[in-house]
Amino acid sequence: MTDFETYTSIEHELEHEVQHECGVFGIYAPQPVEAAQIAYYGLYALQHRGQQGCGIVINDDGLFYEHRDLGLISQVFTPEVIGKLPMGQIAVAHTRYSSAKSDHRANCQPIIVQHIKGHTALAHNGKLTNSRELRDELELQGSIFHTTSDTEVISYLITKERLTAPSIEEALNRAMHRLKGSFSLVLMSSSKLVAARDENGIHPLCYGQCTDGTYIVASESCALEACSADFIREIEPGEIVVFSAEGVHSIKDHCNKQPKATCIFEYVYTARPDSQIDGLGVHDSRLRAGACLARRHPADADVVIGVPDSGLDAAIGFARESGIPFEIGFLKNKYIGRTFISPTQAMRQNQVRIKLNPISSAVRGKRVVMVDDSIVRGTTCKRIVSLLRHAGATEVHVRLSSPKFLNPCYYGTDIYSKENLIACKYDTEGIREYIGADSVGYLDLEDLPEIVGVKDCAGFGGSCNGYCCGCFDGVYPTELPKDTGKRPYETKLSEREAKQ
Ligand code: SF4
């Protein structure tokens, strides 16, 4: 194994096996405010949605000031950087997850486009299912792309429409007829902030207001609270909301065109437990998942622990339902950045324990129920089970607060193919054997409605009415991409970056 391969495998062990692809944030204030500071707090609250890069663009009297880079919010936005950004009335911001293969600076958002009618800055969360076709079409018409991101495709489409549309919101409204797949976006012109969500409402987007009248738009409600904004409401699937000197107005031409299909994995893993999505608290849904799991897969055990962070709430739900005491079973060191590399092989192998260490006194001599949100490849889970055994657990019963991952996600969560999914390789007994547990239990597809409090499961054909459960049940709310391959140049670029 080369040094790079060793480092990469450790990175995989240190990180959750699934990553989401982004968080967006926007500000519209009636008068200039410390927009960079506010955006910084908002992005900080959305850091869990992407740790590879981030950016803020401030609109100061029609002029855009930007800073974007790879790294965590605290690394990219130092006090010096924040101090150099001006006050402003409008701002958009973004925190990004990318696979290692597209982890380069140019893909950091927001993306700024200048055109004959002005300029815009766009930040986007999600993934288009027709981006290849749109990109080819735009390139054939003369567009020159600087990134490999869908965001640039959306930006160019909006710009193209803007050349003939009377307003930025109308340009977006027209462009949305061409956009397929998932997008929650914030768009800034010289005088407006515009927010929009795809017709299925796959990923969340909401807005609120501060006491000084400043509007905040964010991927999750926890970011509103971080800026002391009161939650007003979710942006509806297909809705465009415009914030300007004329107030707030909504365009609903794309509403009620498609069945609502919010990503159920937002509740299981992606969103922060202190957020609410579509009126439902994420923490509450995880408690319900844990309780449901305890009924479906009870265990004779002495203690219930959760894998931090997203397994904790479900573990509490499991413990309450089963009557088995809940304990904090792991210490998670939150201060390890992605550039943490130690010099020797021995030290590298120790890094998993540096990041996640069992609390021996909580598990020693005990039969342990370990609750996590999901298993993707199984490598992380196997490692954690082994850590618990070394810490003295006599039995380890693994419980997963979601059904088996059996299908890819096409909407922005990095489950790209079935190849790496352990549930596609093994049955439950095979998974148990691979991860070295005493027993394994998953939620069933039929449990999904309960975790989001839905009774009617007719839906669009999937497991749960109003929710996308595609990676679990293989039923997707949109057409799937026709072409997911990379172009030769993109493949070479990925290979080069993997070597660096
Ligand atoms: S396929 Fe899975 S991860 Fe992707 S949007 Fe649907 S539920 Fe969410």
Determine the pLDDT at residue 417.
82
Question: Nearest residue CA, atom 2 of ligand 1?
Answer: 471
Distances (CA, A) of 397 to 298, 394, 449: 10, 10, 25
C-beta 470 within 6 A of ligand 1: yes
- Mean pLDDT for all residues in the chain: 89
Whether residue 147 contacts residue 98, with contact meaning beta carbons closer than 8 Å, is answered with: no
pTM: 0.90
**How many residues belong to the chain?**
500
H helices present in 123-255, as ranges: 131-140, 150-162, 168-175, 221-226
Domain over 17-258 is classified CATH 3.60.20.10: yes
Percentage of residues in the chain with pLDDT exceeding 90?
A: 75
The predicted structure's pLDDT at residue 206 = 98
- Is 227 a known active-site residue? no
- Please name which of 372, 367, 373, 381 lies closest in space to residue 438, comparing C-alpha atoms: 367
Q: DSSP secondary structure string, 363-414?
A: HTTSEEEEEES--SSSHHHHHHHHHHHHTT-SEEEEEESS----S--SSSSS
Residue 86 CA, ligand 1 centroid: distance in Å: 38
From the list 157, 184, 183, the residue with the least C-alpha distance to 171 is 157
pLDDT tens-digit series, residues 383-398 = 999 999 999 999 999 9
Ligand 1 pocket check: which of 18, 127, 197, 265 to mutate, most ligand atoms within 8 Å of Cβ? 265
The answer to whether residue 321 scores a pLDDT higher than 90 is yes
**Ligand 1 atom showing the smallest separation from residue 412 Cα:** 4
- Is 469 close to ligand 1, i.e. is its CB under 6 Å away? yes
* Ligand 1 nearest atom to the CA of residue 408, by list position: 1
* Mutation pick for ligand 1 pocket among 199, 266, 471, 478 (CB with most ligand atoms within 8 Å): 471
Residue 468 CA to ligand 1 centre (angstroms): 6
Cβ atoms < 10 Å from Cβ of 488 = 8
pLDDT tens figures, 422-443: 999 999 999 999 999 999 999 9
- For the stretch 335-347, pLDDT in tens is 665 444 444 555 5
How far is residue 347's CA from residue 334's CA, in Å, rounded to a whole number? 18
Confidence class of residue 175 from pLDDT cuts 50, 70 and 90?
very high
In this predicted structure, the answer to whether residue 102 has a pLDDT above a threshold of 70 is no
Task: Using CB atoms within 10 Å of the CB of residue 279, give its burial: 0 to 12 exposed, 13 to 18 middle, 19+ buried.
Answer: exposed
Asked if domains 17-258 and 281-473 share a fold, the reply is no
Mean pLDDT of 129-150: 90
Using a 6 Å cutoff on CB, does residue 413 contact ligand 1? yes
Which of left, alpha, beta for 392 (phi over 0: left; psi -120 to 50: alpha)?
left
Band of pLDDT at residue 325, cut at 50, 70 and 90: very high
Higher-pLDDT residue of 379 and 68 is 68
Confidence of residue 488 (pLDDT cuts 50, 70, 90): low
* Most confident of the ranges 139-153, 331-345, 449-463: 139-153
CA 268 / ligand 1 centre spacing (Å): 11
pLDDT at 217: 98
Mean pLDDT along residues 204-211: 98
| Residue boundaries of the structural domains of the chain | 17-258, 281-473
Which range of 103-107, 400-404, 420-424 scores highest in mean pLDDT? It is 400-404
CATH topology of domain 281-473: Rossmann fold (3.40.50)
